Amino acid sequence: MTEEPAGRIRVLVADDQQVVRGGLVLLIGMLDGIEVVGAARDGAEAVELAERLRPDVVLMDLNMPVLDGVSATAVLRKKVPDSAVLVLTTYADDDSVFPALRAGALGYLTKDAEDGEVETAIRQVYGGRTWLDPVVQARLVAALRPEDGSPPAGQAPGPGAPPDGLTTREAEVLTLIAQGLSNAQICDRLVVGQATVKTHINRIFAKIGATDRAQAVGYAYRNNLVDGG
């Protein structure tokens, strides 16, 4: 039997719509270093296949019969904890986002995401990092932000020197991240190259102790680097 290439990311797709499920299988099958090992029609089948196939990533729809995506995610976190769950669904409302994240999903994308975003999200959650759609990021920070727009207790309000040794430019980049801009959009806004933006982000993460963009967004709001109004 032919051995699988080293480091290949094994993905299980779970979606009740055959057209969507088939499209995802085709898309992921074209990605370098990533393969689909199974496809499930509902949450119960997703759990069953995950237990048997032990995929690296489960691409999970939420609105499915028999067992919905949130319930399936919760079961997977207990039975197959090494499989990272990446939600890919139509819904980005609070009643969908928060239960899925609480159940243990490591990533959350809406189905209008571009092909490149899906690939990036798969690679990120495979590496143990969080990946959230910008719309989802905005909902999370809105939920964390006090209703009066003031910074959380214990945080210094008002303008001043950036915290934790951040430079003025790094604070600016962090603010743009918190506003949901991608690296490419930050490049356009600041008129700098991709390498420069990546260097800024790496330094920002090191200084604030963040491992992904979601943590960086939370940090920006906690430290009053984004307008809460």
User: What is the tens place of the pLDDT at every residue in 218-227?
Assistant: 888 888 887 6
Q: Please report which helix (H) or strand (E) contains residue 126, including its range.
A: helix 115-126
β-strand pairing of 57-60 with 9-14? parallel
pLDDT at residue 222, rounded to an integer: 83
Amino acid at 110: T
Q: What is the pLDDT of residues 152-206, one digit of tens each?
A: 443 443 445 678 888 888 888 998 888 888 888 888 888 878 888 888 899 899 8
| pLDDT at residue 46 in the model | 97
Angle 183-190/168-178 helices, nearest 10 degrees?
A: 130
d(Cα 86, Cα 121) in Å, to the nearest integer? Answer: 8
Res 143: pLDDT: 65
Q: How buried is residue 175: exposed, middle or buried, by Cβ count under 10 Å (0-12/13-18/19+)? A: middle
Summary mean pLDDT of the chain? 84
What pLDDT sits at residue 121? 92
pLDDT for res 144: 59
Q: Side chain identity at 191, as an amino acid letter?
A: V
% residues pLDDT > 90 (the chain): 43
